[in-house]
């Protein structure tokens, strides 16, 4: 890591890096100058070499309703990144973080997909969404859980693996791996890597249709990595780890909410016990297919009931934040409408991993 190396080059004792990490863990220090445990000269040297900020994100806009806070961050390169915190009445918070600025997969239900891929986020930028002093200033505790359900396909970004290490390593953010969820539409090669390297992380696979041709219209990645391939990976993972796996099913009126869809979704699972289907009501999103409509609450309940009576664990997902466009990409889309240059796609080659400003 470049910061650790720089400290060694300056002759600073090894414990100085620990002091820096302690300030980062406390989520109170926003700049190197705020890390008062370090000598002033060392703080100045680090700021000159790495820039003044400990975190590579700056809050740009905040939207709130009763149970949700959504922040649009700007990265140092100018990319826009959305992060959402949900406040549950039981007294705990859950954070939804982004893994990419935009997304290149083109899912037809998603506002982020309409933006296109701007770039992968670095491990620093991913973790900074959780550790940023913005939350401390707002009086919020560290979130009880973190989900990679924001902008982007998490498993299309290899930097996510370093971010997971930083989030779950006791020497860094120190979260329980079981309180971290990675959501994917089925990027199979890195799904295999995920279950091998981070077997305790919770996984949610977006299904949205059990029929391959229809799923490909909703999630174009189906043509490269079929749903069956991802389900096979998760079957083996569930058997080996004994961890529950979640299947997300976005219910769209007249598209994927028929009894035939329900029956085929049940048949797709040879071993339904370790799988839980989370049924989600479709909400209109900027850039999504104009033909998509939300189903009625009655139909959602019928669909969930149809799964449960067939032996599949299923629930309807609670949804917050409809009053502030909390769906992924909505706030970004507003900025894009005002200034289309914000989301101009850049070189999407994999950028070097740089955890903790390394």
Pick the catalytic residue: 96, 107, 110, 328? 328
Q: Tokens standing for 27?
A: 């989520």
For residue 328, indicate whether it is catalytic.
Answer: yes
Residue 252: which residues within 8 A CB-CB, separation 6 or more? 109, 208, 218, 282, 292, 293, 294, 295
What are the Cα distances from residue 320, in Å, to 68, 84, 316, 323? 6, 10, 13, 8
Q: How far apart are CA 347 and CA 358, in angstroms?
A: 21
Residue 191: which residues within 8 A CB-CB, separation 6 or more? 155, 184, 203, 230, 233, 234
Pick the catalytic residue: 30, 69, 82, 222? 82
For residue 76, indicate whether it is catalytic.
Answer: no
Q: How far apart are CA 122 and CA 350, in angstroms?
A: 10
Please identify every residue annotated as catalytic: 82, 328
């Amino acid at each position: 890591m470049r910061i650790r190396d720089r400290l060694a080059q300056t002759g600073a004792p090894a414990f100085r890096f620990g002091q820096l990490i302690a300030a980062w863990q406390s989520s109170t220090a926003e700049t190197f100058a705020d890390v008062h445990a370090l000598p002033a000269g060392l703080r100045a040297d680090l700021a000159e070499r790495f820039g003044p900020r400990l975190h590579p994100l700056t809050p740009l806009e905040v939207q709130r309703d009763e149970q949700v806070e959504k922040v649009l961050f700007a990265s140092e390169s100018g990319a826009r990144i959305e992060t959402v915190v949900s406040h549950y009445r039981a007294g705990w918070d859950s954070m939804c973080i982004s893994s990419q600025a935009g997304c290149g997969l083109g899912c037809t239900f998603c506002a982020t997909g309409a933006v296109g891929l701007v770039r992968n986020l670095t491990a620093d930028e991913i973790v900074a969404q959780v550790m940023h002093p913005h939350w401390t200033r707002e009086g919020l505790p560290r979130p009880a859980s973190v989900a990679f359900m924001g902008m982007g396909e998490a498993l299309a970004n290899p930097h996510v693996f370093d971010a997971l290490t930083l989030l779950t390593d006791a020497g860094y953010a120190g979260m329980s791996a079981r309180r971290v969820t990675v959501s994917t539409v089925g990027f199979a090669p890195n799904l295999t890597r995920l279950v091998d390297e981070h077997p305790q992380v919770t996984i949610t696979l977006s299904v949205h249709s059990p029929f391959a041709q229809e799923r490909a219209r909703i999630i174009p990645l189906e043509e490269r990595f079929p749903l069956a391939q991802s389900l096979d990976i998760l079957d083996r993972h569930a058997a080996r780890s004994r961890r529950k796996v979640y299947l997300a099913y976005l219910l769209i009126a007249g598209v994927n909410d028929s009894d035939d869809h329900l029956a085929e979704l049940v048949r797709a699972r040879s071993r339904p016990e370790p799988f839980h289907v989370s049924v989600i009501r479709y909400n209109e999103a900027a850039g999504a297919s104009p033909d998509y409509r939300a189903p009625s609450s009655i139909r959602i309940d019928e669909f969930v009931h149809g799964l449960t009576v067939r032996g599949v664990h299923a629930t309807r997902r609670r949804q917050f934040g409809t009053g502030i466009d909390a769906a992924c990409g909505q706030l970004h889309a507003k900025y894009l409408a005002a200034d289309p240059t914000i989301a101009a796609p850049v070189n999407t080659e994999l950028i070097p991993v740089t955890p903790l400003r390394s």
